[in-house]
Chains A and B, each alone.
Chain A
Amino acid sequence: MSKFFENPVIKWVEYRLPIFSFIDESVGSGYPTPKNLNYWWNFGSLAGLVLVIMIATGIVLAMNYTAHVDYAFESVERIMRDVNYGWLVRYIHVNGGSMFFILVYIHMFRGLYYGSFKEPRELLWIIGVFILLAMMATAFMGYVLPWGQMSFWGATVITNLFSAIPLIGDSIVTWLWGGFSVDNPTLNRFYAFHYLLPFVIFALVFIHLWALHVHKSSNPLGIDIQGPQDTIPFHPYFTIKDLFGMGVFMLIFMYFVFFAPNFFGEPDNYIKANPLVTPPHIVPEWYFLPFYAILRAVPDIWFISAKLGGVIAMFGSILILLLLPWLDRSKVRSSQFRPINRQLFWVFFVDCLILGWVGANSPDAVFHGVPFLWIGRVTTAYYFAHILLIIPLVSILERTKPLPESISAAVTANAKSGAGE
């Protein structure tokens, strides 16, 4: 690397714009990284890869798409049938959305398990939650653009949620729609926002990385870097590990693109939007299902209608994640040394999966005699109880296991006993 910096051209540029040392200190040999990171630490860079793929394919799609209620559905089919490799670009974009959420959800559960959100990385976590919110808004508006039945009715259901706001709710909904129903003005503004928001996400990711580089990555042991013996340079060790991870990920991603492109989709969205025909089951995209279950779980409580309560609970389920760094009082980050927290983490994980399953089913449907409504209510209650009660209590009461002295000490001990991570 030092040889590289002696090159006269590099030196000339560096003196005026230190871009090469910036890259080297961000993702190069000048960025020290904990030597014990496992493969769960691959998902951040994978999500970054998908963001770039989504923006690249999205721009090409925008060149061929027509944002008008009379032409949107047909223009998407034109992309599928008549634009050269249009089907490939669209299927990458469609499945890329699902992949993005899978990666980000795994990335967040990683942070939850290993306590990556704890001091001094609170802002890193909070920015991450904002990225998730921006992703959700982008994905929701993008799903409306093909103007299929689920596009139209999903947009109608979700925008109608704002009518739950007391007094001004209905006016807000009319304002959001740009009219008195989901129609051409709605489609046009959603298209504009769908094009804008990814760049907001891009900016947030930049701030996320900035915060990351201040205190460096957390690690599976959850203990701080104490010196150079605990770290290895990002390049070449983690560049190659990330690249290998990207290869594995692309194999899975491309399998869906080429061999099961509509696996994550709803058949109803291949029927053109019709305001006069309501589909029997309106369901959002799979990545919103847990939140959809929470929305429908809340009953009328005192003066708060079920609708308003549901909306508060749904948005609240994401917003309480912002408080996580202060709800969890444990000084020990990694669940490897927190036996009770580790068990409960998996309970929470399963709870989230069940919420997703409930969201996919009608609340009136019955599972072995139990109505889905009640499965949804119990799992919703547990979701909030876990974050607001169980996490704080366990973090105070739990007796944690002794931490290793340092990352390098633990790594050497592991290597000696032959049980590497």
Chain B
Amino acid sequence: MKKINAIASILAVALIFGSAVSSATASEGAKPHAQDWSFNGIFGTFDRGALQRGYQVYSEVCAACHALRLLSYRNLTAIGLSPDQVKKIAAEFEVTDGPNDEGEMFQRPARPSDRFVSPFANENAARASNNGALPPDLSLMTKARKGGADYLHGLLTGYKEEPPAGVKLPEGMNYNLYFPGNQIAMAPPLADDAVKYADGTKATLDQVSSDVTTFLAWAAEPELEERKRLGIKVMLFLLVLTGMLYALKVSIWKDQH
């Protein structure tokens, strides 16, 4: 009887929770479609090709406005670039170092150990160049938004040239299906052939969006592959241990039943 009660109450609650809440969803964006990411599931890993293409999209398009301040150039070896390639990439950027022996600060090419150089010196500079809007740092983007990678992909592919009838957009704003409130300051950043891939992959809007999302998912969770690999081992170990503990429990309790 009590078990039936328990199940009934859990079902009742599940029903309440499961049914749609007609809350103020107008202020939130549309629910993004779930994509079949390479890093989904307990065996998920990042597709190395997508990661490198995604880095290309980030560095050629996004990096004009968006920083990745939590990453260092050395981290790029994890997406399959060689130490020499990483050195070359880092050297394209200038960082301030010092003081030197004369007490002067000086500019030098970045090294792999340096953090990604941000496009703007500070928040005010970023706003001044972007019509007052602040392009957010992308280091944790897929963890910092509801819907994660699916949301990011939705945002990048969800622009509409014309807003629906009855919606008036303020000057400089764009209509996006998935952005909360649907008004976004960022102009559509990607399009078909936004970049030219070296590996011959056709650069459709969906492809470049997926690639850069995969890259940013890695940037947010660089530990993901190691975490899932270790997780499988831990779960298998615990399953065997728990099974053995159960057998021991049954044998110890035999004289009590």
Measuring CB to CB, which residues of chain A are less than 8 angstroms from any residue of chain B? 35, 74, 77, 80-81, 87-88, 91, 232, 236-237, 240-241, 243-244, 247-248, 250-251, 254-255, 257-259, 261-262, 267-268, 270-271, 280, 335-336, 342-343, 346, 349-350, 353-354, 357, 361-362, 364-368, 372, 415, 420
- Is B121 on the interface with A (CB-CB < 8 A)? no
* Pairwise interchain contact B245-A243, C-beta atoms closer than 8 A: yes
Min CB distance B89 to A, Å, is 19
Residues of B within 8 A of A259 (CB): 42, 228, 231
* 10 pairs of A and B residues whose beta carbons are closest in the complex: A258-B231, A247-B242, A365-B23, A270-B144, A244-B245, A87-B223, A270-B140, A270-B143, A244-B249, A240-B249
**Complex Cα spacing A270 to B219, Å:** 13
Q: Any chain A CB within 8 A of the CB of B9?
A: yes
Q: Which residue of B lies closest to A254 (CB)?
A: B234
A215 to B106 Cα, complex, angstroms: 74
A240 lies within 8 A of B23 (CB): no
Contact indicator per residue, chain B 240-253, by CB within 8 Å of chain A (1) or not (0):
01100110110011
Known: A251-B242, A257-B231, A267-B146. 20 other contacts (CB 8 A): A74-B70, A77-B70, A81-B223, A87-B223, A88-B230, A244-B249, A251-B238, A254-B231, A258-B231, A258-B234, A258-B235, A259-B42, A261-B227, A267-B143, A270-B143, A335-B2, A346-B9, A353-B13, A354-B16, A415-B257
- B249 contacts A280, C-beta separation under 8 Å: no
Asked whether A362 and B238 contact (CB < 8 A) given A240-B249, A262-B143, A350-B9, the answer is no
**Distance A119 CA – B13 CA, assembled complex (angstroms):** 33
- State the CA gap A420–B12 with chains docked (Å): 28
In the bound assembly, the distance between CA atoms of A368 and B20 in angstroms comes to 9
Question: Can you name 23 A-B residue pairings with CB atoms under 8 Å?
Answer: A87-B223, A88-B227, A237-B256, A240-B249, A241-B249, A243-B245, A244-B245, A251-B239, A254-B235, A255-B231, A258-B231, A259-B42, A267-B145, A267-B146, A342-B2, A342-B5, A346-B5, A350-B12, A353-B13, A354-B13, A365-B23, A365-B24, A415-B257
Cβ of A243: which chain B residues have Cβ within 8 Å of it?
A: 245, 249
A268 to B140, CA, bound (A): 10
Determine whether the beta carbon of B227 is less than 8 Å from that of A350. Answer: no
Shortest Cβ distance from B179 into chain A, in angstroms? 13
Q: Is B180's CB within 8 Å of the partner chain A?
A: yes
Main secondary structure of the interface of A (DSSP, over half): helix
Bound Cα distance from A248 to B220, whole angstroms: 31
- B223 near A361 (CB under 8 angstroms)? no
Given known pairs A81-B222, A346-B9, the reply for A240 and B144 (CB within 8 Å) is: no
B238, A280: Cβ atoms closer than 8 Å: no
**Cα distance A74–B5 in the bound complex, in angstroms:** 48
Give the docked Cα–Cα distance between A270 and B137 (Å). 11
User: Bound complex: CA of A241 vs CA of B146, how far in Å?
Assistant: 40
0/1 interface trace, chain B 141-174, chain A, CB 8 Å (1 if under): 0011110100000000000000000000000000
Contacts of A74 in B (CB 8 A): 70
Say whether chain B's binding surface is mostly helix, strand, loop, or mixed.
helix
Nearest residue in B to A35 (C-beta to C-beta)? B256
How far, in Å, is A246 (CB) from chain B's closest CB?
8
Chain B residues within an 8 Å CB radius of A366: 22-23
On whether A87 and B22 interact (CB within 8 A), knowing A240-B248, A420-B257, the answer reads: no
How many residues of chain B are within 8 Å of chain A by beta carbon? 50
Interchain nearest-CB distance for A2 vs B (Å) = 19
Asked whether, in the complex, the Cβ of B252 is within 8 Å of the Cβ of A240, the reply is yes
Measured CB to CB, the closest approach of chain A to B140, in angstroms, equals 4
B198 interface residue, CB < 8 Å from A?
no
Cα-based distance from A160 to B249 in the complex (angstroms): 51
Chain B's closest residue to A252 (CB) is B238
- With A81-B223, A255-B235 as known contacts, state yes or no: A244 contacts B246, CB within 8 Å: yes
Specify which of B70, B232, B249 is in contact with A81 (CB 8 Å cutoff): B70
Q: Which residue of A lies closest to B247 (CB)?
A: A244
* Chain B, Cβ-Cβ closest to A347: B9
Report the bound CA distance from A349 to B222 in whole Å: 41
Docked complex Cα distance between A63 and B143 (Å)? 25
How would residues 88 to 125 of chain B score, 1 for a CB under 8 Å from any chain A CB and 0 otherwise? 00000000000000000000000000000000000000
Complex Cα gap A420–B254 (Å):
13
Q: Once the chains bind, are A240 and B245 in contact (CB under 8 Å)?
A: yes
Complex formed: what's the CA distance from A350 to B13 in Å?
7
Least Cβ–Cβ distance between B112 and chain A, in angstroms: 14
Q: How far is the CB of A57 from chain B (nearest CB, A)?
A: 15
Nearest CB to that of A266 among chain B residues? B146
The answer on a CB contact under 8 Å between A280 and B13 is no
- Which residues in B have their C-beta under 8 angstroms from that of A91? 227
| Distance, CA A335 to CA B242, complexed state (A) | 31
- Note all chain A residues with C-beta closer than 8 A to B13: 350, 353-354, 357
Task: Find residues 4-31 in chain B having any chain A CB closer than 8 Å to their own CB.
Answer: 5-6, 8-9, 12-13, 16-17, 19, 21-24, 27
Asked if A362 and B24 make an inter-chain contact with CB atoms under 8 angstroms apart, the answer reads yes
Which A residues touch B146, using CB under 8 A? 267
* Contact B256 A232, beta carbon cutoff 8 Å: yes
| CB interface residues, B 58-107, toward A, < 8 Å | 70, 75
